[in-house]
């Protein structure tokens, strides 16, 4: 049984600034950084199949931003809301982009691609958790939160599961190969 962690609060402009608002703004910030992370990762990718996969995931990440902006409008949330967890997502995302740029500048292309996989895996882990929370809010939240069901539909859930699992498997299998251990699944 869902219990609201706090009452619905509003800021001076009448926009909500409660836990739902903070969760939504954290998800939006993750997707905005996801775009930058995929764009940078594509610049590090050398495998053609991996490039194709990341291009698809980049397109889907851009679509998630549009979905979340619709949610903000439907729930009277402020997409520019400042929140400490947003600052953390911002800092982490910028650090991941910087890490990939550093790896690329080192000139070892296969190492840069491996680091890009790690960075994609980290942001997709956060993204996966965000969409899981949004799905729960849509199903079990207060009346206005059911508006989220349009954003957290099964297609989005399947896509995000794919982003997370492929990224995680890719980094895991590369680490297994580096240790001369047999692969559990094939990766690009």
Q: How far is the CB of 124 from Fe ion (least distance, A)?
A: 5
Q: Distance between CA atoms of 133 and 111, rounded to whole angstroms?
A: 34
Q: Cβ closer to Fe ion: 140 or 158?
A: 158
Footprint of Fe ion on residues 102-141 (CB under 5 A)? 127
Among 20, 163, 167, 171, binds Fe ion (CB under 5 A): 163
Q: How far is the CB of 164 from Fe ion (least distance, A)?
A: 7
- Minimal CA–CA distance to 73: which of 21, 126, 6? 21
Q: How far is the CB of 69 from Fe ion (least distance, A)?
A: 16
Residue nearest to Fe ion (CB): 163
Q: Cβ closer to Fe ion: 16 or 64?
A: 64
Q: How far is the CB of 143 from Fe ion (least distance, A)?
A: 28
Judged by CB under 5 A, the number of residues near Fe ion is: 3
Q: Cβ closer to Fe ion: 16 or 86?
A: 86
Q: How far is the CB of 126 from Fe ion (least distance, A)?
A: 9
Q: Cβ closer to Fe ion: 29 or 160?
A: 160
109-135 burial: b if 16+ Cβ within 10 Å, else e: eeebbbbbbbbbbbbbebbbebbebbb
Q: Cβ closer to Fe ion: 17 or 156?
A: 156
Among the listed ranges 17-25, 44-52, 112-120, 159-167, the one in contact with Fe ion (CB under 5 A) is 159-167
Binding site for Fe ion (CB under 5 A): 127, 160, 163
């Amino acid at each position: 049984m869902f219990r609201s962690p706090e009452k619905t609060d509003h800021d001076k402009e009448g926009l909500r600034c409660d836990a739902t608002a903070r969760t939504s703004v954290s998800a939006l910030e993750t997707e905005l950084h996801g775009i930058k992370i995929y764009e940078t990762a594509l610049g590090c990718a050398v495998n053609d199949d991996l490039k194709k996969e990341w291009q698809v995931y980049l397109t889907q990440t851009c679509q998630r931003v549009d979905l979340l902006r619709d949610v903000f409008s439907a729930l009277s949330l402020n997409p520019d809301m400042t929140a400490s967890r947003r600052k953390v997502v911002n800092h982490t995302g910028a650090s991941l982009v910087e890490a990939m740029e550093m790896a690329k500048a080192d000139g070892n292309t296969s190492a840069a691609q491996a680091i890009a996989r790690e960075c994609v895996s980290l942001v997709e882990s956060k993204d996966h958790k965000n969409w899981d929370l949004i799905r729960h809010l849509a199903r079990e939240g207060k009346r206005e939160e059911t508006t989220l069901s349009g954003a957290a539909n099964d297609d989005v859930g399947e896509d995000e599961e794919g982003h997370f699992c492929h990224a995680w498997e890719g980094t895991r299998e590369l680490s297994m190969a580096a240790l001369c251990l047999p692969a559990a699944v094939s990766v690009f």
